[in-house]
Homo-oligomer: A and B are copies of this chain.
Amino acid sequence: MIALNRSLNDVRLRATSIEAPITRNRLSVCSLLSPEERQALDDAMLPAKAVGANKDLALEGDDVDCLYVVAEGWACRYIMTAAGGRQITSVLIPGDVGNLDTFMFDRLDYSLRTLSAAMVVSLPKRRARALAAVHPGIAQRFAALAMVENTILSAKAVSLGRRSATERLAHFLCELSVRLDPLSDIKTQFELPMTQEHLGDSLGLTSVHVNRTLQQLRKEGLVETRKGTIIVPDLGKLRSLSGFDERYLHVPAITGST
Task: Choose among B103, B162, B247 the residue that contacts A87 (Cβ–Cβ < 8 A).
Answer: B162
Question: Is the CB–CB distance between B154 and A110 below 8 Å?
Answer: yes
Measured in the bound complex, the distance between the Cα atoms of B150 and A90 in whole Å is 11
- Tell me if A175 is interfacial: C-beta within 8 Å of chain B: no
Interface residues as binary, A99-140 with B (CB distance below 8 Å gives 1, 0 otherwise): 011011101011000000000000000000000111111011
Measured in the bound complex, the distance between the Cα atoms of B135 and A90 in whole Å is 31
Measured in the bound complex, the distance between the Cα atoms of B2 and A77 in whole Å is 35
Interface residues as binary, A149-166 with B (CB distance below 8 Å gives 1, 0 otherwise): 111011111101111000
Question: Is the CB–CB distance between A150 and B153 below 8 Å?
Answer: yes
Q: Is the interface of A mostly helix, strand, loop or mixed?
A: helix
Question: Is the CB–CB distance between A158 and B81 below 8 Å?
Answer: yes
Task: Choose among B142, B143, B163, B247 the residue that contacts A103 (Cβ–Cβ < 8 A).
Answer: B143
Interface size, A (range): 35 or more
Q: A146-B150, A147-B100 are in contact. Are A86 and B162 (CB under 8 A)?
A: yes
Residues of chain B within 8 A (CB-CB) of A49 are: none
Residues of chain B within 8 A (CB-CB) of A140 are: 104, 132-133, 139, 142-143
Q: Give the copy number.
A: 2
- Tell me if A203 is interfacial: C-beta within 8 Å of chain B: yes
- Tell me if A204 is interfacial: C-beta within 8 Å of chain B: yes
Question: Is the CB–CB distance between A162 and B110 below 8 Å?
Answer: no
Task: Choose among B81, B144, B240 the residue that contacts A162 (Cβ–Cβ < 8 A).
Answer: B81
Residue from A85, A109, A110 having most chain B Cβ neighbours under 10 A: A109
**Closest CB of chain B to A91's CB: distance in Å?**
12
- Tell me if A89 is interfacial: C-beta within 8 Å of chain B: yes
Q: A133-B140, A146-B147 are in contact. Are A248 and B109 (CB under 8 A)?
A: yes
Measured in the bound complex, the distance between the Cα atoms of B240 and A82 in whole Å is 9
Question: Is the CB–CB distance between A109 and B247 below 8 Å?
Answer: yes
- Tell me if A50 is interfacial: C-beta within 8 Å of chain B: no
- Tell me if A193 is interfacial: C-beta within 8 Å of chain B: no
Question: Is the CB–CB distance between A253 and B105 below 8 Å?
Answer: yes
Q: A161-B160, A161-B204, A243-B83 are in contact. Are A104 and B147 (CB under 8 A)?
A: yes
- Tell me if A212 is interfacial: C-beta within 8 Å of chain B: no
199-258 of chain A: CB within 8 A of chain B: 203-204, 240, 243, 247-248, 250, 253
- Tell me if A53 is interfacial: C-beta within 8 Å of chain B: no
Residues of chain B within 8 A (CB-CB) of A109 are: 151, 154, 247-248
Question: 3 closest A-B pairs (Cβ-Cβ)?
Answer: A161-B204, A82-B243, A139-B139
